[in-house]
Amino acid sequence: MIVIMQQGSPRVEIDAVIEEIDRLGFRSHPIYGVERTVVGVIGDNTRDHLEHFEHFDGVERVLPILQPYKFAGREVQQEKTTIQVNGLTIGGPRIVCIAGPCSVESREQFMTTARAVKDAGADILRGGAFKPRTSPYSFKGLKEEGLRILAEAKQETGMPVVAEVMDARHVEMADQYVDLFQVGARNMQNFTLLEELGRANKPVFLKRGMSATVEDLLMAAEYVISEGNRNIVLCERGIRTFETATRNTLDVSAIPVIKRLSHLPVFADPSHGGGHWWLVEPLSFACVAAGADGLMVEVHHNPRVALSDGPQSLTPKNFQKLMSRLPEIAAAVDRSR
């Protein structure tokens, strides 16, 4: 359930409600809004205590939460969540672009691509140090060496960096190097990892699983939020269907659906969604038009020799072209770029 405080309720009244929630053996999740504070109550049989909290000073009303995702949904928080990453706002009026190669293959490869996406106007640099692959014999990343190269690229370009973590044991290591933790599609329901990231103090970039529903994605976000970390970016990256012309089917309709159900920022990954470099630009435009707050695009300085995802990676020249045209699409939906 949620306890909605009156507008302008003093902190002493809010604290009294939180102390009572804790005393009853529940968990409290206060959300301090611009106009009023809402306190979420997590635990079994919370409905039995609806009337109990209505008698507290400063309480306007108490409501049950109907959706299974208690804090990722709009029942608790109507206003959009914005996330700050090194001075960059995610979820605001400006479309944010994350770009870089699928994998950190070498220092030369990554630094070359990092400089190119920086020059083209990307905001955040991506690169995989731990790569979950379908085949155990494929290149699986440079691990901590890759993270060190990411950190070096951040120092040179000034761009924040995001990299995937596959295991709860990787979080402490990656925390030394990255600004956002990425959870890949294959790990969207790795609940141990999600809980560990919920205890971390950095934003989480959460990709939709290959066969996951929108509710599955929001419940995965709920795992992170339930441990205290509300800084989550959701990402539509394509789902498995019977279609074989594309690598996945990019579910553009999921973007406005998620934004209707959740206050969290929503990105799209047109590279994995289509699986072909020539699909990246039109899919990017479609996702921005549908309301995406940002894009994650794979770029490689020489896709023909890429160790992973070469066919879906843009060259720096094609990425520059995409970035030059993106402001037109953003402006058409009252966004900026």
pLDDT of residue 48: 76
Residue 134 has pLDDT above 90, yes or no: no
pLDDT of residue 133: 66
Residue 166 has pLDDT above 70, yes or no: yes
Q: What does residue 61 show for φ and ψ, rounded to 5 degrees?
A: -165, 165
Domains plus CATH for the chain? Answer: 2-63 (3.30.70.1140), 83-332 (3.20.20.70)
In the beta sheet, which residues pair with residue 61? 4
The residue assigned the tokens 């691509």 is 113
For residue range 224-241, what is the model confidence (pLDDT) as tens digits? 998 999 999 999 999 999
For residue range 297-306, what is the model confidence (pLDDT) as tens digits? 999 999 999 9
* CA atoms of 324 and 210, how far apart (whole Å): 31
Global pTM value: 0.90
Q: Do residues 164 and 188 lie in contact, with contact meaning Cβ atoms separated by under 8 Å?
A: no
CA dist list (Å): 27 to 17, 23, 225, 276? 12, 9, 12, 46
CB-count burial class (<10 Å; 0-12, 13-18, 19+) for 260: exposed
pLDDT > 70: percent of the chain: 99
Residue 172 has pLDDT above 80, yes or no: yes
Residue 138 has pLDDT above 80, yes or no: no
Q: Do residues 52 and 1 lie in contact, with contact meaning Cβ atoms separated by under 8 Å?
A: no
For residue range 317-330, what is the model confidence (pLDDT) as tens digits? 999 999 999 999 99
In the beta sheet, which residues pair with residue 155? none
Going by the DSSP 8-state scheme, the letter that residue 79 receives in this structure is S
Of 33-47, 144-158, 165-179, 250-264, which range is least confident? 33-47
Residue 27 has pLDDT above 90, yes or no: no
For residue range 208-226, what is the model confidence (pLDDT) as tens digits? 999 999 999 999 999 999 8
| Region label for 98, one of left (φ > 0), alpha (ψ between -120 and 50) or beta (otherwise) | beta
Q: Dihedral sign, CA of 174, 180, 181, 186?
A: negative
Q: Do residues 95 and 295 lie in contact, with contact meaning Cβ atoms separated by under 8 Å?
A: yes
Rg (CA), the chain: 21
Mean pLDDT value of segment 59-71: 88
> How far is C-alpha 278 from the geometric centre of its chain's CA atoms?
25
Mean pLDDT value of segment 237-258: 97
pLDDT of residue 243: 95
